[in-house]
Amino acid sequence: MDTSDILKKVRKIEIKTRRLSNNIFAGQYHSAFKGRGMAFSEVREYQYGDDVRDIDWNVTARFHKPYVKVFEEERELTVMLLIDVSGSLDFGTSGRLKKDVVTELAATLAFSAIQNNDKIGVIFFSDRIEKYIPPKKGKTHILYIIREMLDFSPQSRKTDINKALEFLLRVAKRKCTTFLISDFYARNDFKDAITICNRKHDLVAIQVYDKSAKELPNIGLMKVVDAETGHEMFIDTGSRRLRQAHAQYWADRQAALKDIFNKSNTDNISVATDGDFVKPLLQLFAMRS
């Protein structure tokens, strides 16, 4: 993809995702993801009903009458996007690849965050840390992130979610809001890592999937390729037994994933490549408000 094509795509995604974040998500994002706590704002004269624990004794002594400290919510957050760039994301049967949906989702969250004056950082991961973009503010930074998502070529096609979470724990010293965006096709167990990470940070898991993972189309003999290992094989999608086994595998896998999220107390949503991510995101925000 040449530079002009990338810039056109960046602009297209910016227009779409900024509109979503401005018109739909701004208020919901603010209430769903709170700041770190209360920050001192100013002092004012004591009024009947004020908490005596808020009295500023130094100012009170200076002016010979009681003054109280006024606090306001400390809104500024650091938001980290943990983005899966492994080979399995380079797939889609509905006109959009999983990685296209991931890019739009991440951009929408990023624009919602900067409206609230939050910093945004990104960790691209496969079975290794592919790229780390430290948290910063501003539209220029967001556009750089979108461009990287569009034009990034990972060194590996495999997945290791543990590596991403362990790296986050090393680089993020203060509590941050973290969106882990993946299809969660991981060959190793990440339950302990996600539990530890969610204790230190505010972790949200967003699963992106294609409808063919849920239900195989009946189109006869079909060649399938494992995007992460390159293994190829032919399957007969005309076989009802095969389609039922495929559907059962999906159901079992989703149940196991939900169990991990429930036991680690991790908020989560799922987004399909042939669907709209607006409704799931709004449900997520409402659930947290």
Domain ranges of the chain: 3-32+76-288, 37-74
- β-sheet bridge partners, residue 121: 80
Specify the pLDDT at position 37.
53
pLDDT tens by residue, 202-215: 999 999 999 988 88
Specify the pLDDT at position 84.
97
184: left (phi over 0), alpha (psi -120 to 50) or beta: left
- Alpha-carbon distance of 67 to 58, in angstroms, equals 9
Which homologous superfamily is 3-32+76-288 in? Answer: von Willebrand factor, type A domain (3.40.50.410)
CB atoms within 10 A of CB 183: 22
CA distances (Å), origin 127, targets 22, 154, 194, 196: 35, 10, 16, 19
CA distances (Å), origin 1, targets 7, 8, 245, 252, 280: 10, 11, 39, 39, 31
- Alpha-carbon distance of 190 to 257, in angstroms, equals 10
- Alpha-carbon distance of 79 to 83, in angstroms, equals 13
Q: How far is CA 200 from the centre of its chain?
A: 16
Specify the pLDDT at position 54.
84
Q: What is the token pair recorded at 150?
A: 């569009």
Q: What is the token pair recorded at 89?
A: 């994301």
Q: What is the token pair recorded at 168?
A: 């986050």
- Alpha-carbon distance of 42 to 23, in angstroms, equals 32
pLDDT tens by residue, 7-26: 787 888 888 888 888 777 76
- Alpha-carbon distance of 184 to 98, in angstroms, equals 12
Find the DSSP H helices in the chain: 3-20, 26-32, 57-63, 98-115, 139-151, 161-171, 191-200, 211-214, 240-263, 278-288
Specify the pLDDT at position 186.
86
Strand 221-225 relative to strand 232-236, pairing: antiparallel
- Alpha-carbon distance of 244 to 32, in angstroms, equals 39
- Alpha-carbon distance of 121 to 114, in angstroms, equals 11
Q: What is the dihedral of CA 277, 263, 172, 14, to 10 degrees?
A: 0
**pTM greater than 0.85 (yes/no):** no
- 132 DSSP 8-state letter: E
Question: Which residue numbers in the chain have pLDDT < 50?
Answer: none
In terms of Cβ atoms closer than 10 Å to its own Cβ (0-12, 13-18, 19+), residue 20 is buried
State the distance between the two ends of the chain, measured CA to CA, in whole angstroms: 41
Specify the pLDDT at position 143.
92
